[in-house]
Every structure is written in structure tokens, then in C-alpha cells.
Amino acid sequence: MQLYNTLSAREREQLIEEAGKDRLTISFYKYANIGNPQILRNHLFIAWNEMDVLGRIYVAHEGINAQLSVPAENFETFKAHLDSITFLENVRLNIAIEQDNKSFLKLKVKVRKKIVADGLNDSTFDVTNKGIHVGAEQFNELIEDPDTVLVDMRNHYESEIGHFKNAITPDVDTFRDSLDIIERDLAEHKEDKKLVMYCTGGIRCEKASAYYKHKGFKNVFQLEGGIIEYTRQVKAKNLENKFLGKNFVFDHRRGERISEDVIAHCHQCGKPCDTHVNCANEACHLLFIQCEECAVAMDNCCSVECQEVHGLPYEEQKKLRKGKGASNKIFKKGRSPVLKYKK
């Protein structure tokens, strides 16, 4: 019985190209009490591997967080399987705004302590006492209210390429970093302002809204389904789009365009650009913003040092990496000192 991925990303990419079939990129989450996450994890892997599902799925005692790619022809089978699991029946599926058949190249189902690394002690507050969920139309009305404080619950490299007009965008590397910073900065508005939050697909706001209510915020709202569902509703209902730029996504696409606005800049030359890339030097892999001209000039690398390593024969590069842990720059997300125009 196969319980783990056996193909490399390159092998899977080749199979996808040979198949020539469309795939759908989907995300969903659900907070639920799961007694044995390992059993659920194995069940999901076996069933979804048979359907050629690829993606990154986290399972914990508190629920499931899934970002995945499924062949379009298998979507109904996949949906039927979800509905066969009691707590996932009719779960909302966020369908990607821009599709890419290679958004995911492996199926990874992992058991984690939490489905989102929030750093919170859930026993200290009522996680079910969440904020009011609002759709796109009400959200648009709320954020025009002068008594509203709009907060982006994502990380700095996400909001750098796209965010809602007039949103507070915390300069943080992780979700857990933002929670206390936002509470501190907005402490004087706990009773007189409406706290409205949003994130990519809604999951970060689920826990955050309950946390802020516990901390004394009286009027807490969250965007239902996040930026992804907001964009779908805006198009379906012909509403005004108040999001500027791109929505950062955690797969090979790295972003999907919501508006034509380009609000970020190339981290190497400073020209308008909102294309995230990873440094081509596999020992670095730094995530940063790079324009097409700099990509050509720098061989898709973040620095001259990495460019020199990337130019070596592959076997020599492997020797240089041998015995070394992952570069810490991987997690700096555009903050490396080698980037002249970093945010």
C-alpha cells in the first residue's frame, strides 16, 4: 500500500505534460475535532493518489488545511469523496482565479500540531466565538466606513504585491508575528472601531477573529473565503473591485492577478514589477521579486555570488551543498541584504 509520494517533481511535470489534460487548483480548510489525524492522513493519501491529486495538505487534531491540484475530469469524483467524509460534506472550495496545470507537482499530506502556525494557546480563549463573516458586497461597504480599520492578516511578501485599498499591512514574516503587533497598534480602538480582516482564503482570519474578540475588540468582521472568494463574487455580481495588484499564492504560480495595478518593484533594479521568483541557486532558493531584464542579466539568481555558483556544473554544485543545511535565506522572503530595492 503506497502512503507516500514516489515521483520527483521533474518526473511528475513530465507526466502532466504528456497527459495534456487540464487541472484545477483548489484550496479549502475546515476546523473540526479529529481524533486520529494519522488515520485520516493515510485515508486521504490513498484515495487522492488514486485520483491523481497533487498538493500540500495539513491534518491536525483541530482540522484540515488543503491546497491542491486535481485533474478537471476527476473533480466530481474528488468532490464526492469529500462529501463522504462527515465533517467535509459541502465544505467551501476556493477555485483558483488563474489556473496552472503545474501549480503542484507532488502529493504531500502531513500531520501537524496545527493547520496554521498561529502560536496561540487555544485553551485560553473560545476559538468558536469568531467574528462576523461578510461577503464581497458588505465588505466593500464596510471598508468605506470611516469607523472601520481594515487589516491584512498576511505576511509582508504577500501584501507587497497586492492588498486592499487603505489596508494596514503589518511588516511581518509570519502570521504569528502579526497577532500581537496588531493588537498593540489598535489597542485604543477596541470599542470605537470596526476591525475588518482579510487573508488569502479565510483560514488565518478564523482563529484571529476569535483571538481579537477575546482580547476585547467589540466589532470584529472577516472576509468570507478571503481574497479568492471575494474576487469570484466581484466578477459574478459585477461589483467594484477594491483589491490592488496580485494575490500571492503558496504554489508554483506564486501569484494570481486580481487587478492590472502593479504596486511592487523589482528587488534588483527598482522598476515596477510584481513577479515573485526563487533564486536559481538551489543552495539559496531565496524568494524575491525580479523583472524579466534582471532575470536575464542575473541568470535568475538573487546575487552575483549565487550566479557564480549556478554557473558551475551541476555535480559541482551538489558537492558544495553536501553536508550543509538549508540556507537561512530561504525564509527571509525578500529581506536579504543582497537585494538593493527590497521592501
pLDDT digits (tens, 9 = 90+) for 1-31: 678 888 898 999 999 999 999 999 999 999 9
Domains within the chain, CATH numbers bracketed: 9-111 (3.30.70.100), 132-237 (3.40.250.10), 276-331 (no CATH)
* 199: annotated active-site residue: yes
Residues 184-213 have pLDDT tens digits of 999 999 999 999 999 999 999 999 999 999
Q: What confidence tens digit (pLDDT) does each residue in 41-57 have?
A: 999 999 999 999 999 99
Neighbouring-strand partners of residue 65: 29, 58
Of the residues 199, 205, 284, 294, only one is catalytic, namely: 199
Residue whose C-alpha is closest to residue 198's, from 218, 173, 177, 178: 178
Please, are residues 272 and 262 in contact by the beta-carbon 8 Å criterion? yes
Question: Taking residues 154-172, what's their average pLDDT?
Answer: 95
pLDDT bucket at 325, cuts 50 / 70 / 90: low
Q: What is the pLDDT of residue 331?
A: 46
Is the per-residue pLDDT at 332 higher than 80?
A: no
Please indicate, yes or no, whether the overall pTM of this predicted structure exceeds 0.85.
yes
Q: What residues contact residue 235 under an 8 Å CB cut-off, 6+ apart? A: none
Per-residue pLDDT for 328 more than 90?
A: no
Whether 201 and 27 have beta carbons less than 8 Å apart is answered as: yes
